[in-house]
Structure 1
Amino acid sequence: MNINIKNYKNILDNISDGVYFVDKNRKILYWNNAAEKITGFTYNDVINSFCYHNILRHVDKSGNELCRNGCPLLESMKTGTFIHADVYMHHKSSYLLPISIKVFPLKNDKNEIIGAIEIFNKQKKINNTTPSPLALKEFLMYDPLTNLPNAKYLYKVINSKLNEIKSIKRNVGILIIDIANFTSIINKHGSDIANQLLKIVAFTLKSNIKTGDIIAHWKNDKFVLIFNLENKEELNKIAIRLKMLSEKTSILIENKNISLSISIGGTYFLTNDNIEKLIDRLNNALIKSKNDKYNKIRILE
């Protein structure tokens, strides 16, 4: 293959975007410093492996695993076109990051396609404002397992939001995310593996909410998230996306992927709510979602 990587290395190793090259067989020939920082995978982890070995496990917005079907690198080499997409990428620690990718075909002096290059970085629109662990620890509002705010902090936020919507007309939604098979994972694989999955889900959720949104570890196998919404229909779309991302989370144990089953309940903040009414409606939505054989998402007014 006639790609002289040395000519590009000094430049590409000092930019903030992740960059990697593949040849026509999709073998990874180059992996820059930013790619290591963004993904957790080192140069030695990936070099001379093939992208279809599903290292990064790109996932689209519908939950399709692109390395198996719909690889942007392969498509770019087949068609000779530039491809831009917003997708999700698995970090080495197994959580999912929202990224933007740009893929170009690489050509030789004869204008023949000899490979492809992918440039990627984290989506800048995802940037939540969860307080720092140090600030939360000071007021006993921190969960050390998931590195998230705890239920005590969440109650504080809920009370603040309830007061806020009485004076400012705003759509505010709340979701409770339950790992339905958490107990069976503990029974089969032990609490260490179950807690590892819990931490991965926590980081995936935290990495995929926007500025102003709140996430907390509610208790045991449950997370609660609060969203400022543009409209009420948005809450169901968020629930579908977070369910997909959580269920794409897995860890490899004895050559088998241990994955999760997710149920989600949701509701909206109402002007006549108090915290007891809101939490009761939220829990009721979760019960209904658990009894839902197919969708496993239930949003109650």
Structure 2
Amino acid sequence: MDIEITELLQKIVDEAPMGIYVLDTERKIVFWSTGAERITGYSREEMVGRYCFEGMLNHIDREGVHLCHDFCPMMATIFDGQSREQPVFLKDRTGQRIPVMVHTEPLFKGQETLGLLNISGFCRNVNILCRKNGDTHDSGTDSASGSSADAGTSAGRYPDLS
């Protein structure tokens, strides 16, 4: 193979069907993948060097609670070194709420925490993401295709966080 390992790894990350970004321990974005660009509409140049809590992505949970300050799964992973997975909604460049499953993974060098890896993928089952307090209503929406068996009602199931 004529490709260097760093080029190969970059290509693998960029071609992955999910968004990947890396934060340092201060939650500054130090890497932003092509997948993250596809999901959010924000370019690597716009995001690298920013803090994730600056409000561009404005993560919220299914109850509409803003996660970027008090309930941030990324901050918790940096603090305790534990992996987390949580369904959230992020705001894309156009202001639309996008359902994603966020997976946070701490990055270590020996015993030192360097930061964390955040992997966000479109939530394939919007129904689970939008379900509140045992609500079992199935809206029939497939977030991957955007199609809905019950057209017009699934958009109202997303949290309203203007």
Q: Scaled by the length of structure 1, what TM-score is found?
A: 0.44
Q: Does structure 2 retain, via aligned residues, the 8 Å contact 1:58–1:65?
A: yes
Amino acid at match of 2:72: C
User: Whose relative contact order is higher, 1 or 2, with alpha carbons under 8 Å and at least 6 apart?
Assistant: 2
Where does residue 53 of structure 1 map in the other structure? 54
Provide the residue aligned with 1:84 in structure 2.
85
SS in structure 2 of the partner of residue 214 of structure 1: coil
Q: What does residue range 1-150 of structure 1 map to in structure 2 within 5 Å?
A: 6=6, 8-108=9-109, 110-126=110-126
Q: Supply the distance in 2 between the matched residues of 1:172 and 1:86 (Cα, whole angstroms).
A: 17
CA RMSD of aligned residues (A): 3.0
SS in 1 for 2:111: coil
Larger radius of gyration, structure 1 or 2?
1
> How much does 1:211 deviate?
3.7
Return structure 1 stretches of 4+ with deviation > 6 angstroms: none
Determine the C-alpha separation between the residues in 1 that align with 2:22 and 2:42: 15
Report the counterpart of residue 150 of structure 2 in structure 1: 213
Q: Which residue identity lines up with residue 111 of structure 1 in the other structure? A: Q
Task: Kindly tell me the number of residue pairs found equivalent between the two proteins.
Answer: 145
Deviations 1:202-244 (A, max 9, x none): xxx996x8741111xxxxxxxxx3x8xxxxxxxxxx97x44xx
Alignment deviations for residues 170-205 of structure 1 (CA, whole Å, 9 cap, x no partner): x999xxxxxxxxxxxxxxxxxxxxxxxxxxxxxxx9
The TM-score with structure 2 as length reference comes to 0.78
What displacement does 1:123 show? Answer: 0.8
One-letter amino acid of the counterpart of residue 161, structure 2 = K
Instruction: Provide the C-alpha distance between the structure 2 equivalents of 1:25 and 1:10, rounded to a whole number of angstroms.
Output: 27
Q: Report matched runs for 1:228-267 at 5 Å.
A: 241-242=157-158, 245=159, 247-249=160-162
Structure in which a larger fraction of residues adopt helix: 1
Contact 1:125 1:210 in 2 (8 A): no
Q: Is the 8 A contact 2:59 2:90 kept in 1?
A: yes
Note if contact 2:78-2:115 (Cα within 8 Å) is conserved in structure 1: yes
* Deviation of the 1:52 alpha carbon: 1.4
Assess if the C-alpha contact under 8 Å between 2:125 and 2:142 holds in 1: no
Identity across the alignment (%): 24
Kindly tell me: are residues 58 and 172 of structure 1, through their superposed partners in 2, closer, same or farther at Cα, counting changes over 3 Å? closer
When residues 61 and 210 of structure 1 are mapped into structure 2, their CA distance, relative to the original with a 3 A threshold, is farther
Give the unaligned 5+ runs of structure 2.
1-5, 128-136
Amino acid in the other structure paired with 1:48:
G
Q: Give 1:12 deviation, angstroms.
A: 0.8
Q: 1:213 & 1:70 partners in 2: Cα distance?
A: 32
Q: Is residue 126–residue 210 contact of structure 1 (8 Å, CA) maintained in 2?
A: no
Q: State the one-letter code of the partner of 1:212.
A: A
Higher mean Cα deviation, 20-29 or 67-76?
67-76
Deviation at 1:11, TM superposition (A): 2.1
